[in-house]
Structures are given as structure tokens and as C-alpha cells.
Structure 1
Amino acid sequence: MASALIFVVLGTVNFFGTMHNNQSSVVPGLNLTSTSILDQLISLRARRNNYINYCRYTSGIGAHKLHIETASWNSARHNCQDEGGHLAIINSVEEAQVISKLVDTANIETIWIGAHDLFNEDEFVTIENESIYKAGYSMWERGEPNNVGNKEHCLAIRKNGKLDDRNCKQAFSYVCEIRYPQVYVVSRNAENQEKLAEEKTETRCLRGSLLAGPVTRRDDYTYTSGIGGYKVHTRAVLWNEARITCEEEGGHLAILNSAAEANAVTQLCKKSPAITGSPLPQFAGIGFHDLYREGQYVTIHGQTLAKAGFTQWAPGQPDNIYDGKPENCGSLDKNGGLNDIGCDVPIGFVCELPAY
């Protein structure tokens, strides 16, 4: 398997993805060894509805890539990350209409999008930990969410544009997103590409990542040069409440990206007053969990711990049990090792602001 990244502008063709036996993953049936690739692409345009996946670019909104193949919600989330995007987050009625049209064109009833209530029942948040109401779109199908069998915790959208909670283990098609302006539009005419992208041309999504938002400096945070700012909260609360508190302060539950950062946070915890109201005062909640899939630990931003940069567990951890109950939320022990902890156990916690 070889990676393919082919750019040709002004009368040429763009492919992004992987090749298998000289076949394009973007346009099935396209022979990349042919001398008339452009002719083949044009002839295959009529087969667009049969593509395994394809993209639609919308000015001011971004690019949405529909995967017709089905997957569980967590697998879909992973696949979008691997492509440099994320499961689609709907921020407006207009964006919902874009996705609905894409889904309707492919004659699909229901697809996964990037939201869930795995942290707290009936509290639907995006994969970026923002309330769906704050994100900008919350039009539910009649009678939804209904959490059938107490097992529907992941969010889907129907082709009529209405939201529906579903069992995360169900297999649906899904839409990945790369946000505007991190979408590169390449057309057969380089002039006025934005207009051509909307009206005339075949477009493709280029791998990208989300731009960081503005950083706010706070006087109640302790800053470590080149790493970030941190605040230890010593009044114990449940992990999800800790997550919300950090967001309200403009940050997030601490995510450890290196041994140096883990050491900085550990030393700060040791210098802070004792944690009160917790049966486990030797631990402080931080931003990781395995609520998406048991044993698969990810940060609150969806990265694996390995990709985030720190995987040093405390001795004997993770053990997924405390007082006879499972442990699906993340914490840091007093010696700087990772520890799984019950999401319903009150603990102190550490908030983080990016380096200022």
C-alpha cells in the first residue's frame, strides 16, 4: 500500500488517500496508471452516487466527506481523525442542510455525526466538548432523544436533517468534516476558485487540522514556559463537572503531552493545598477517559494517549475497578502516573490553558 497525494492545477486532477493495486480510493475504478486520467475522471462523474466516499465543499462552512461504508460511532470517529478531520459537528441550520442534501443524494437514511452524551445522560456535547446547543444546532426528530433501552448515547442525523440518539455500537454511514478555511479547493481553472468550487468543479478535501482558538491568560493559573498554564482545583467534584468547570474558565481538563508536562502538573499538585471532599485525595482528575470504548483511552479531544504524548501509568494501572464499580475516567496520581478512576467518584482536578 502506498500513499497518494497528487496535485495538478489547471486542467489536472487531484487525489487524496491511499492506493491499492493502482486503484484510486477516491474514485473507485480509476486506473492511476492510465495516460488519460482526466478523461477517465470525467467519464466517471456520472457514477458519483456510487463512490465509496466523496466530498462536498461549501463556501464559509467547510468540506464534508460522506463515507457510505458503515461503522460504529467510535470507529467512524477514528476514521475521520485518520483523515485529518473529525466527525462532523453541526454549527448551524445551513450546515445541517448541506449534510442532509449530501445524505439524501446518496439515499442514506441515517448517519453518525460528532456528538454524544457519554459523559452525562441527556447532556449532549460535541466531540470538542461543547454543548450541541452552544455549537448551534439542536433540531431533534419528534420523540427524540429517547435513549431506548438506556443504550442510545451517540448522535446521528437523519436525511430530513433531524437529530436522533442511537446505540453507539450500531453501524451507520458517517460524515467527516474539515472546517473552512482549512480546505484547499483546486479547480481546473485557477481563477475565482471559491466560486468555481461552489458551482462548477469537482472538489476534494485536503488533510488538515483545526486551528487553535484565542488563548486567555488568567491570574489564578500557574504558567510553565513553553508548556502551558494550570490550576489545581482542590474541592472535589465528579469528573464531568470538573470538565465543565475547566471549560467555563476558558480551558479544559489537563491533557498531558509529554513527561515534562506530567512532571510540571505533578509538582504543582504537590504544592497545592490538600484536596477536600474526595475518598481518593491522592488523585487529581485530568482530561482522558475510555467512555467511547472500554480499554481504549483517549483525551477529551479524541486523541489516543500515545498520540497525545504521555502513556506512563501508575503501577498496577489501569485496573478498571474501585469499590466494585468500573473506572472509565482519567486521573493523575501523586507520583505522576496515569490512573483510571470512577466517573462517579468526587476528586480534585487540574485545568489547563495553552501556553500563552
Structure 2
Amino acid sequence: MYRILAALAVVTLSVNGLSIFDTRSGYTLYPRIGFYKYHQELLNWSDAYRVCLQEGGHLAIANSQEEAELLLKIFTDSPRTERYFFLGFHDLYLRNNFTTIYGEPVQRTGFFNWAHTNCVGQNVCATNVTDNKRLSCGVMGLYSVEAGFYVHPCDNQLHFICEKELWYDYERISNMGYYKLHKIGKTWGDAWKTCRDEGADLAVIQSSTEMSTLQEILGRYPEILDADSDNKVHLGFHNKLNPNIYSTVYGTFLNSTGYIYWATNEPSASGNCGGLVRKGQLFMGNCDAKLAFFCKHPIVKK
């Protein structure tokens, strides 16, 4: 689920050597994985589901071993009174058929590991009643040293973790992609890293239609105060690898992208990093200039 939300202010932190970013909404960005927020309060599964939705996110879903281990680490490093926390899967549609909150079978998420001995290797959990209560809602907890799933009664009061996708605050443009204009100026290299940390790339213009789209987004901000220039933005091309070859961050030739419209006297020798001026023209500039920049993530087809 992807949403168009206002860009969030970001503060750089470091935890165990991992660079993360703490947003004003209380969510933390773990580069290339996602945004997460741990809730210490105890709620039943239904109310936890509601809280995450109201925050523009969803109950966390483990889509990889890396993400599952991260969720468990967030929990173990946080204050808690219970040994489990809710995740975004259940069997409320059909008993013993566990699906995510989006209706996807749990075994198709990219991480499928039952910690409960009666559920190992299955999509059904043989133990479905405890104290006359169905075990219907997914949890993870501290009874296993490895990340794995358990199921609990949905009306148990537990901690929970909410998640937002890496590009949740990007703007979706039909048939093109998800875009985000970062209005705090960064060097080209730092801009490239920021996009990568968000699971995206520095934008590469591939058509005149896409150029017009970026122009329209940029036009909403006639003044960009936190940058060296409000007339230019970084894009995802350069000639860092060879001064005579203009290539994209995808490793392809710039002239194969479908859009090359240089500004007057460009490409110049004034720098090795590419960008866009407000008039929709490309330029080469100083990689150390702190400019606004566009990140892009392609349309995800499910």
C-alpha cells in the first residue's frame, strides 16, 4: 500500500554502526528495508491494526530473513512488559490459513519460519485453541533465539510494530513511477546514497513526459532555501567513470534513456555530475554542490 504524504524532516542517528534516520512521526528508517515504529503500549491485534493504519502504515510484515531479524532486534532493544509483539498476519478469513493483512499467504512473503513446534513447515498451525481462545493472530517473540512466527489469541494485549514502505511518502505518477523531491540540498554522492537508502535511485529522465512531470513537481516550490541553487536539481547521471561517457546510475548510456535535451553550452566541463534546470534542460555541474534532488522508484506490479 503506497500513499502520498508530505515529506518528513530527517535527523541522522547511528545504532550499532547502522546509519538510520529518525522522522518526526516517530518512524525510523532502516536503509533499504523500511520505516518502523515500535509501540510500547499494549493493545489487542485489532486495535494495533487500527493504530498503524491511522499513522499511514500497517502492522509489520516480515518479507525476508533480514527484515525478520530486524523486527526481533527492534523489539529486544526496546522497553517491554510482554515477551511477544503483534505482526501483520492472521487466520481470521479461514481457520488455519494464515495470510497477511493484504490477503497474501504467509509462505509467499519471502520469510516463512514457524517458531511454534506445532506449526513448523506448514501454512496451518495444528494448535488453534488455548484457554478456549483461538490462536489466530501472528506474533514474534523472545522464546526463540532465531526469528520465527507464533500465533496468539487476537484479544491478547501485546506490544506491536508498525511499518511504512521505503517509498511511502513518494508521489505515484501513473505509468511512470514513485517520485520524491528532496528539498534539503545535498552533494550528488549524498543524494545518491539517500535515494538508495530509501530503496530508490536518483531519478533518470526517460521521456519528455517524465521531464514535464518533474518540472511540475519542482514548480510547486519556486524557492528552495536549503540548497545552493533553487534553479537546479541533481539527477542520476554523470561522467565519473570516463570523462567522455555520460552514463546513468543504472550503468546505461545517457543517450539511451529517451531524453537528452542539454541546456545552452552543455554538456560543459564544469563538473562530473548531472542535473536538471527548471526549464527542463540537462546540465553537468559540480558534484559537491548541495542541490535539491529527485529520487525515483519504479511502479511495483503485484
Q: TM-score interval w.r.t. the shorter chain?
A: 0.3 to 0.5
Question: Normalization by structure 1: what TM-score?
Answer: 0.37
Question: Normalization by structure 2: what TM-score?
Answer: 0.43
Structure with higher helix content? 1
